[in-house]
């Protein structure tokens, strides 16, 4: 009968599929074994790291730089890249399975409960002793730079990872305000330095240049790195004043900030649609010539300059310093390049040969390692010209017509645990250099360094801050657009206190104290 | 009498003109709807062909491409994984849809039985899964335990039956006239024969919808691939396209806290790539709708019965 | 009547026995059908019921390294955190209202579209419209929401139309009272065609001879629709409605997040977006599972109520 035939067909299909599953399973099993055992006596590292693949390089296994490194160190690395976009999810799933890769980079710091907990739980290795014995270059860096040492250890004194380290301890700021230089010139205005001068300039942009959005502004009403708000001598969120932690949005000065923003908003000096403007929307506003000033990063300023030149060849962006209330006053909050530059790589307890891995990592902090990671292979990706390394055409003028950023990861490493020179790029434009100079003039005294919370503290923090952030974000915008009068400010502060914001300030204070007390020798 | 008759006539004419007015109104409404609904697709298409700098500056609606370039498409196709991903997706869609539709039809047939003693518990078993799940982690561990991890079947079996589709199909199966089934049973047909020779042909249209739902579902899915596959050569198209989008969009977000600005690609082409990617990922699946539509013809139930 | 009473007054153990016997008999009689049910049962057990122990996370402080079983119990702590939040009531209300209004407008709209399409006489035209109305379903939410933000901005399309009528331009997405309208309106735009497919399929199953007979009886199109089309659609409509009621408590986060901003949180902040923002503060597996469980419980309860009501009123039900 027909029905029977269909049934048997289905069964056959299912059988075939099951057998295929079985085969596949065996295959992966053997390939796993290959990765584990160093057949030719070579040490093999399984290295989990997020990577943005592109048409030129699909995975770090194809990197010429790492191949050269293998030649030099005799260590083979097998990179495992999680699919992009949900790395956090994949990191957490990975922790659920028994077998971990030898090295986990970039997301390792997301371990719930913090790094001390990870070491206690026996997931990550404590590296202090291993570094003492096997990582002379990295150890030297730590000894010479107490701030770096402080930022690579936990409150309990565990060194847990190899981070990216900037070779220049004073890397310039990369975030700050930008104005339309051509408009300033045309209106015969100086680059503004104070809040009052900003007000004047923005008003003139509004009236004389008919700018729809004299100032393009962050959608949450506070610049995340503190431009403008730092003029009022407070920070955008938690900040410190003489080692006392405070919360900017509840300080009395914040009321003045809100009053100023409210005034600017009412007089149409701030983009009317700022609460709904996303980054694409802001880019459109800026490059279509409707904006007079904005706050951004210098690489993006380059792009905006290129885009706006297509329609308005006279348009010119020019960097300004972060404004202050009185002329010449120093502001104390800006974006900071921490000594621990992130991209931290930890070694897990699954690693069979941690000494070799530590030695391998240490190479990246040596002189030869520095050249290899930053510039690649001499004669191939760079040449020495007048004693300075210079990238070859392969990177700066690629025969396939690809730009530097697409090509670079094949010959050097963009980001990762090594000693990085931020200047190891084809070159900065004049705008870039100007931005760096102006923006770096702001001080960083109010910025809290990267502190650790204990597991209990981080739980309290996220319990309280969920509601606090919601309440604050909502009220800040309502104050700025004038939906709630500023006479409500005291009630707003009371409500923040009712939500136990002070508990979080205490937590921060304690964490900061512990940070300052870390013994760095 | 005559009054009565004339009023009847008036009613009739009113009905006729009423019907015509309705038809006209209906057609106008549908044309309006058509314009509204086609716009987003056109917008994406125009944007994918526009000059990236002009596009960046443009505000509001697009009525034609701003300038013309195919660079977005060529950038996307430069990625060698695209073709491979496309072939993988074809495999997942074809195999996945066939298995899913077969199993769903069998299950729906079971649940459509009126006199089955275990009908209620089975139905409850299905419905509960629409609301309660153990979450990602145990699901992941289970797939790993079954040895499906990093195999193509991990994208097919864990989601092979959709409870929602199953219930919809069951509703359609229940409407099949009992007399048809009874007479087949008298002729000595077993349940498999009844399902494949009578019930499925009668419910052709809903079966076509099932094919559409499962195929579109497989086509669009990327999350299971993301968590279950390590091997990039098995990635479906959507995951690769998503990576292209993400590496454009999220990079800066991810890097901002600790990286610095010089690591952002010079990408005025970002938007262009985004829109080209959407076009590439949508067009093929749009093509299957006309095939499905064929089965929506009025009265096809009768046709199948005469067969 | 009498015989029914007799059955119910039989002693308990005997009743049990008969149940067993009935099951055995049923298994034997419907052997082929139970055979067909095996793949389904295996599937749901393997991929849905065996992993279901994961809901335990909501009563524990989940630590990935310890795994689900060994993570420490914390009782109802996570539920407490959610219920005690000052935003609990607000997000609950917003979620319920947003999905209720979505259902109120979206559900009939899809049916009406199917009915109107059914009335079209030109087959080609009809097919073209079907194909086009289903297009927006495939455009990613990010693009759709980007267009919405464009349309509703101060110098956007909507304001430029309204300014002809003397309406002061404003940014509609910063007005809490307009959020639901925008959300639901755009939802209709995106999904009306797709949602109507299932009804179109059901419509095509109606026997044309019924319409012929009605025409002979002098029934107009309105009456034909009322007495033939709608009754034929009823089972599909009812099942879809019940399933939708079950989904009332779950509003996806993505679209809300793409469209909201703090100025509209009063009406736009739903449970999932609230959980999302909280998650950004720290990976909160346990908390989000607890909230998910809460949503599921409400959804399932609603479904059971809807199913019971439907059984009473229309005799149509899921089980």
Could you tell me if C220 and C246 lie in one domain? yes
For the stretch C203-227, pLDDT in tens is 888 888 888 888 888 888 888 888 9
Q: Which of B147, B230, B263 sits opposite A25 (nearest CB)?
A: B147
Q: Are the beta carbons of C44 and B60 separated by less than 8 Å?
A: no
Instruction: Check residue A325 and report its DSSP letter.
Output: S
A13 pLDDT more than 60 = no
CA A290 to each of CA A285, A312, B269, C169: distance values in angstroms, whole numbers, following the listed order: 6, 12, 21, 18
Residue B262 pLDDT: 35
A461 pLDDT more than 50 = yes
Overall fold of domain A175-335+451-516: D-Maltodextrin-Binding Protein; domain 2 (3.40.190)
Q: What is the CATH number of the domain that holds C246?
A: 1.10.3720.10
Please give the average per-residue pLDDT across B259-284, as a whole number. 66
Q: How many domains does chain C have?
A: 2
Q: Which of A110, A273, A280 sits opposite C153 (nearest CB)?
A: A273
Residue A41 pLDDT: 66
Contacts of A79 in chain B (CB under 8 A): none
Question: What percent of chain B is predicted at pLDDT more than 70?
Answer: 82
Residue C14 pLDDT: 55
CA atoms within 13 Å, Cβ hemisphere of B109: 31
In order, the DSSP letters of A371-427 are HHHHH-SBTTTEEEETTEEEE-HHHHS-TT---HHHHGGGTS-SSSSSEE-TT-SS-
CA B131 to each of CA A295, B120, C243, C245, C287: distance values in angstroms, whole numbers, following the listed order: 46, 17, 11, 12, 17
Instruction: Check residue A441 and report its DSSP letter.
Output: T
Please give the average per-residue pLDDT across B103-110, as a whole number. 95
The structure tokens listed for C234 are 């009823």
Q: Which of A45, A145, A134, A65 is nearest to A368 (CA)?
A: A65
Please give the average per-residue pLDDT across C74-90, as a whole number. 92
Helices (H), A102-158: 115-120, 128-134, 136-144, 146-152
Q: Are the beta carbons of B54 and A22 separated by less than 8 Å?
A: no
Which residue out of C34, C62, C63, C64 would a mutagenesis test of the A interface target, given it has the greatest number of A Cβ atoms within 10 Å?
Answer: C64
Burial of A368 (0-12, 13-18, 19+ CB in 10 A): exposed
Instruction: Check residue A145 and report its DSSP letter.
Output: -
> Which residue, chain included where needed, has tokens 């006392």?
A244
Residue A32 pLDDT: 40
- Please indicate, yes or no, if residue C24 is contained in any of the structural domains: yes
Where does the pLDDT of residue C17 fall: very low under 50, low under 70, confident under 90, or very high at 90 and above?
low
CA A466 to each of CA A418, A470, C62, C91, C120: distance values in angstroms, whole numbers, following the listed order: 36, 6, 19, 13, 53
Residue A175 bridge partners (DSSP): A297
* Boundary of a domain, candidates C47, C70, C93: C70
In this structure, the strands spanning A43-48 and A103-105 are: parallel
Residue C134 pLDDT: 86
User: Taking CB atoms and an 8 Å cut-off, how many pairs form between chains A and B?
Assistant: 162
Most confident of A331-335, B14-18, B57-61, C200-204: A331-335
The Cα of B58 is separated from the nearest Cα of chain A by a number of Å equal to: 7
A464 three-state secondary structure: helix
Region for residue A221 given its phi and psi (left: phi exceeds 0; alpha: psi -120 to 50; beta: otherwise): left
CA B109 to each of CA A305, A392, B112, C34, C240: distance values in angstroms, whole numbers, following the listed order: 64, 68, 5, 10, 18
Question: What percent of chain A is predicted at pLDDT more than 70?
Answer: 92
Q: Are the beta carbons of C64 and A461 separated by less than 8 Å?
A: no
Please give the average per-residue pLDDT across A386-395, as a whole number. 90
Most confident of A81-90, C176-185, C223-232: C176-185
Residue B167 and residue C243 in contact, taking contact as beta carbons nearer than 8 Å: yes
CA A500 to each of CA A493, A503, C256: distance values in angstroms, whole numbers, following the listed order: 11, 5, 28
The structure tokens listed for B203 are 């419910």
- Please indicate, yes or no, if residue C251 is contained in any of the structural domains: yes
Where does the pLDDT of residue A447 fall: very low under 50, low under 70, confident under 90, or very high at 90 and above?
very high
Residue A388 and residue A400 in contact, taking contact as beta carbons nearer than 8 Å: no
Q: What is the mean pLDDT of chain A?
A: 88
Could you tell me if C40 and C150 lie in one domain? no
Alpha carbon distance B33, B29 (integer Å)? 6
Asked if B125 reaches chain C (Cβ–Cβ under 8 Å), the answer is: yes
A501 three-state secondary structure: helix
Asked if B151 reaches chain C (Cβ–Cβ under 8 Å), the answer is: no
Residue C278 pLDDT: 82
The structure tokens listed for A192 are 């503004």
Contacts of C46 in chain B (CB under 8 A): 142, 146
Q: What is the mean pLDDT of chain C?
A: 87
Residue A291 bridge partners (DSSP): A213
Question: What percent of chain C is predicted at pLDDT more than 70?
Answer: 93
Could you tell me if C53 and C97 lie in one domain? no
Where does the pLDDT of residue A22 fall: very low under 50, low under 70, confident under 90, or very high at 90 and above?
very low
In this structure, the strands spanning A388-391 and A43-48 are: unpaired
The structure tokens listed for A311 are 């329609």
Q: What chain B residue is nearest to A344 in terms of C-alpha separation?
A: B258
In this structure, the strands spanning A213-215 and A165-166 are: unpaired
Those chains having 3 or more beta-carbon pairs within 8 angstroms of chain A are B, C
Residue A158 pLDDT: 93
The structure tokens listed for A48 are 């989990």
A408 φ, ψ (degrees, to nearest 5): -60, -35
Q: Are the beta carbons of B229 and A59 separated by less than 8 Å?
A: no
The structure tokens listed for B126 are 């299905």
Residue C202 and residue B205 in contact, taking contact as beta carbons nearer than 8 Å: yes
Could you tell me if C223 and C265 lie in one domain? yes
Asked if C121 reaches chain B (Cβ–Cβ under 8 Å), the answer is: yes
Region for residue B287 given its phi and psi (left: phi exceeds 0; alpha: psi -120 to 50; beta: otherwise): alpha
Contacts of C202 in chain B (CB under 8 A): 172, 205-206
The structure tokens listed for B172 are 């359609």
Domain holding C109, by residue range, is 84-314
Asked if B258 reaches chain A (Cβ–Cβ under 8 Å), the answer is: yes
Q: How far is CA A438 from the centre of its chain?
A: 21
The structure tokens listed for C285 are 């597996």
Alpha carbon distance A363, B247 (integer Å)? 29
Could you tell me if C151 and C257 lie in one domain? yes
Q: One fold for both A41-169+340-420 and A175-335+451-516? A: yes
Most confident of B246-250, B298-302, C83-87, C179-183: C179-183
- Please indicate, yes or no, if residue C79 is contained in any of the structural domains: no
- Please indicate, yes or no, if residue C77 is contained in any of the structural domains: no
Where does the pLDDT of residue A159 fall: very low under 50, low under 70, confident under 90, or very high at 90 and above?
very high
Q: Are the beta carbons of C37 and B110 separated by less than 8 Å?
A: yes
For the stretch A28-61, pLDDT in tens is 333 343 344 444 568 899 999 988 877 788 889 9
Residue C83 pLDDT: 93
Give the 3-state secondary structure of chain B. CHHHHHHHHHHHHHHHHHHHHHHHHHHHHHHHHHHHHHHHHHHHHHHHHCCHHHHHHCCCCCCCCCCCCCHHHHHHHCCCHHHHHHHHHHHHHHHHHHHHHHHHHHHHHHHCCCCCCCHHHHHHHHHHHHHCCCCHHHHHHHHHHCCCCCCHHHHCHHHCCCHHHHHHHHHHHHCCCHHHHHHHHHCCCCHHHHHHHHHHHHCHHHHHHHHHHHHHHHHHCCHHHHHHCCCHHHCCHHHHHHHHHHHHHHHHHHHCCCCCHHHCCCCCCHHHHHHHHHHHHHHHHHCCHHHHHHHHCCCHHHHHHHC
Homologous superfamily (CATH) of A41-169+340-420 is Periplasmic binding protein-like II (3.40.190.10)
What are the residue boundaries of the structural domains of chain B, listed by start?
A: 2-57, 71-306
User: How many residues does the structure list for chain C?
Assistant: 319
In this structure, the strands spanning A388-391 and A382-385 are: antiparallel
Name every residue whose Cβ is closer than 8 Å to that of residue B80 and which is 6 or more positions away in sequence: A55, A58
The structure tokens listed for C96 are 């319920």
Alpha carbon distance A413, A169 (integer Å)? 20
Residue C219 and residue C238 in contact, taking contact as beta carbons nearer than 8 Å: no
Which residue out of A462, A475, A499 would a mutagenesis test of the C interface target, given it has the greatest number of C Cβ atoms within 10 Å?
Answer: A462
Overall fold of domain B71-306: MetI-like fold (1.10.3720)
Among A191-200, B35-44, C279-288, the minimum mean pLDDT is found in C279-288
Question: What percent of chain C is predicted at pLDDT more than 90?
Answer: 45
Which residue out of A470, A498, A499, A504 would a mutagenesis test of the C interface target, given it has the greatest number of C Cβ atoms within 10 Å?
Answer: A470
Alpha carbon distance A36, C257 (integer Å)? 44
- Please indicate, yes or no, if residue C319 is contained in any of the structural domains: no
Asked if B148 reaches chain A (Cβ–Cβ under 8 Å), the answer is: yes
Residue C266 and residue C176 in contact, taking contact as beta carbons nearer than 8 Å: yes
A283 pLDDT more than 70 = yes
What are the residue boundaries of the structural domains of chain A, listed by start?
A: 41-169+340-420, 175-335+451-516
Instruction: Check residue A1 and report its DSSP letter.
Output: -
Q: What is the ipTM of this complex?
A: 0.86
Contacts of B225 in chain A (CB under 8 A): 83
Which residue out of B47, B51, B53, B57 would a mutagenesis test of the A interface target, given it has the greatest number of A Cβ atoms within 10 Å?
Answer: B57
The structure tokens listed for C227 are 């007495």
Q: Which of B109, B132, B301 sits opposite C207 (nearest CB)?
A: B301
B265 pLDDT more than 50 = no
Could you tell me if C118 and C20 lie in one domain? no
Model confidence, pTM = 0.86
Q: Which of C140, C258, C47 is nearest to B220 (CA)?
A: C140
A145 pLDDT more than 70 = yes
Q: Are the beta carbons of B192 and A84 separated by less than 8 Å?
A: no
Alpha carbon distance A208, A187 (integer Å)? 8
Residue B306 pLDDT: 40
Alpha carbon distance B108, A70 (integer Å)? 58
Q: Are the beta carbons of B298 and C206 separated by less than 8 Å?
A: yes
Residue B188 pLDDT: 86
* Boundary of a domain, candidates C20, C42, C70: C70
Could you tell me if C55 and C113 lie in one domain? no
């Amino acid at each position: 009968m027909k029905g029977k035939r269909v049934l048997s067909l289905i069964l056959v299909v299912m059988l075939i599929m099951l057998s295929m599953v079985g085969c596949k399973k065996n295959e992966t099993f053997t390939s796993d074994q290959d990765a584990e055992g160093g057949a030719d006596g070579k040490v093999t590292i399984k290295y989990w790291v997020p990577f943005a693949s592109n048409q030129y390089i699909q995975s770090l296994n194809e990197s010429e730089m790492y191949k050269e490194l293998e030649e030099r160190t005799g260590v083979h690395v097998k990179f495992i890249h999680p699919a992009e976009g949900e790395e956090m999810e994949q990191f957490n799933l990975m922790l659920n399975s028994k077998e971990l890769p030898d090295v986990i980079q970039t997301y390792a710091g997301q371990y719930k409960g913090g790094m001390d907990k990870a070491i206690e739980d026996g997931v990550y290795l404590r590296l202090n002793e291993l570094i003492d014995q096997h990582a002379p270059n990295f150890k030297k860096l730590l000894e010479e730079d107490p701030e770096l040492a402080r930022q690579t250890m936990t409150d309990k004194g565990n060194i847990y990872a190899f981070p990216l380290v900037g070779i220049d301890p004073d890397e310039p700021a990369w975030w700050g305000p930008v104005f339309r230089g051509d408009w300033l010139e045309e209106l015969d205005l100086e680059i503004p330095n104070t809040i009052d001068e900003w007000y004047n300039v923005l008003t003139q942009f509004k009236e004389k240049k008919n700018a729809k959005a004299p100032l393009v502004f962050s959608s949450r009403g506070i610049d995340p790195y503190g431009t403008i708000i730092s003029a009022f001598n407070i920070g955008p969120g938690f900040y410190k004043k003489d080692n006392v932690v405070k919360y900017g949005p509840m300080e009395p000065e914040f009321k003045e900030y809100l009053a100023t923003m409210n005034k600017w908003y009412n007089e149409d000096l701030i983009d009317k649609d700022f609460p709904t403007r996303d980054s694409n929307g802001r880019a459109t506003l800026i490059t279509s010539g409707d904006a007079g000033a904005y706050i951004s990063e210098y690489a993006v300023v380059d792009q905006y300059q290129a885009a706006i030149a297509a329609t308005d060849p006279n348009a010119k962006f020019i960097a300004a310093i972060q404004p202050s209330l009185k002329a010449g006053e120093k502001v104390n909050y800006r974006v900071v390049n921490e000594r621990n530059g992130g991209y931290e790589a930890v070694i897990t307890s699954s690693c069979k040969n941690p000494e070799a891995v530590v030695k391998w990592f240490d190479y990246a902090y040596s002189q030869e390692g520095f050249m290899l990671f930053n510039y690649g292979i001499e004669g191939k990706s760079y040449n020495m010209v007048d004693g300075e390394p210079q990238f070859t055409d392969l990177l700066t003028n690629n025969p396939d017509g690809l730009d530097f950023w697409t090509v670079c990861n094949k010959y050097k490493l963009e980001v990762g645990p090594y000693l990085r020179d931020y200047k190891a790029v084809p070159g900065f434009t004049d705008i870039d250099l100007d931005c760096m100079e102006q923006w770096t003039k702001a001080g960083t005294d109010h910025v809290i360094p990267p502190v650790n919370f204990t597991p209990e503290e981080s739980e309290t923090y996220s319990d309280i801050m969920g509601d606090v952030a919601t309440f604050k974000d909502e009220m800040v915008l309502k104050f700025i657009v004038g939906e709630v009068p500023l006479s409500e400010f005291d009630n707003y502060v009371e409500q923040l206190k009712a939500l136990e914001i002070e508990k979080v300030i205490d937590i921060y204070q304690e964490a900061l104290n512990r940070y300052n007390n870390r013994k760095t020798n | 009498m005559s009054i009565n008759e004339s009023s009847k006539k008036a009613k009739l004419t009113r009905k006729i003109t009423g019907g015509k007015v309705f038809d006209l109104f209906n057609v106008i409404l549908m044309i309006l709807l058509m314009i509204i609904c086609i716009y987003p697709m056109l917008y994406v298409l125009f944007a994918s062909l526009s000059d990236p700098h002009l596009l960046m500056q443009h505000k509001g609606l697009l009525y034609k491409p701003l300038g013309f370039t195919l660079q977005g498409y060529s950038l996307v196709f430069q990625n060698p994984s695209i073709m491979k991903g496309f072939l993988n997706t074809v495999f997942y869609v074809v195999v996945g849809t066939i298995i899913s539709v077969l199993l769903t039809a069998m299950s729906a047939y079971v649940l459509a039985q009126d006199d089955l003693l275990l009908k209620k518990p089975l139905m409850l078993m299905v419905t509960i899964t629409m609301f309660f799940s153990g979450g990602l982690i145990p699901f992941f561990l289970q797939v790993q335990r079954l040895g499906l991890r990093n195999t193509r079947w991990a994208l097919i079996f864990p989601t092979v039956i959709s409870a929602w589709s199953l219930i919809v199909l069951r509703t359609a199966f229940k409407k099949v006239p009992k007399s048809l089934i009874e007479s087949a049973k008298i002729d000595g047909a077993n349940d498999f024969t009844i399902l494949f020779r009578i019930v499925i042909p009668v419910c052709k249209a809903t079966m076509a919808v099932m094919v559409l739902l499962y195929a579109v579902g497989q086509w669009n899915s990327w999350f299971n691939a993301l968590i279950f596959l390590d091997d990039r050569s098995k990635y479906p198209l959507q995951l690769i396209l998503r990576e292209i989008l993400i590496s454009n969009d999220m990079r800066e977000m991810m890097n901002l806290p600790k990286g610095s600005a010089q690591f952002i690609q010079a990408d005025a082409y970002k938007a262009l790539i985004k829109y080209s990617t959407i076009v590439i990922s949508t067009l093929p699946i749009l093509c299957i709708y006309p095939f499905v539509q064929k089965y929506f013809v009025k009265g096809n139930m009768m046709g199948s019965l005469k067969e | 009547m009498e015989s029914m009473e007799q059955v119910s007054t039989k002693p308990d153990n005997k009743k049990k026995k008969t149940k067993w016997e009935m099951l055995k008999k049923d298994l034997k009689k419907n052997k082929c059908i139970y055979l067909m049910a095996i793949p389904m049962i295996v599937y749901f057990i393997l991929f849905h019921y065996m992993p279901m122990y994961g809901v335990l996370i909501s009563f524990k402080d989940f630590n990935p390294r310890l795994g689900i079983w060994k993570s420490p119990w914390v009782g109802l702590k996570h539920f407490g955190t959610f219920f005690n939040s000052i935003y609990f009531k607000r997000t609950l209300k917003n979620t319920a209202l947003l999905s209720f209004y979505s259902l109120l407008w979206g559900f009939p709209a899809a049916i009406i579209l199917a009915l109107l399409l059914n009335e079209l006489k030109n087959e080609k035209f009809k097919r073209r419209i079907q194909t086009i109305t289903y297009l927006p379903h495939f455009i990613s939410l990010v693009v759709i929401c980007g267009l919405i933000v464009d349309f509703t901005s101060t110098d956007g399309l909507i304001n430029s139309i309204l300014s002809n009528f003397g309406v002061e331009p404003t940014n509609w997405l910063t007005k809490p009272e307009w959020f639901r309208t925008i959300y639901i309106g755009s939802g209709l735009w995106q999904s009306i065609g797709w949602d109507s497919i299932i009804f179109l399929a059901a419509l095509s199953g109606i026997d044309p001879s019924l319409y012929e007979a009605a025409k002979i009886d002098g029934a107009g199109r309105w009456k034909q629709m009322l007495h033939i089309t709608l009754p034929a659609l009823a089972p599909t409509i009812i099942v879809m409605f019940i399933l939708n009621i079950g989904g009332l408590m779950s509003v996806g986060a993505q679209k809300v997040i793409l469209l909201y901003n703090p100025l509209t949180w009063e009406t736009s902040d739903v449970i999932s977006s609230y959980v999302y923002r909280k998650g950004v503060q720290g990976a909160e597996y346990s908390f989000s599972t607890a909230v998910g469980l809460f949503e599921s419980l409400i959804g399932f309860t609603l479904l059971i109520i809807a199913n019971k009501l439907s059984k009473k009123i229309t005799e149509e039900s899921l089980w």
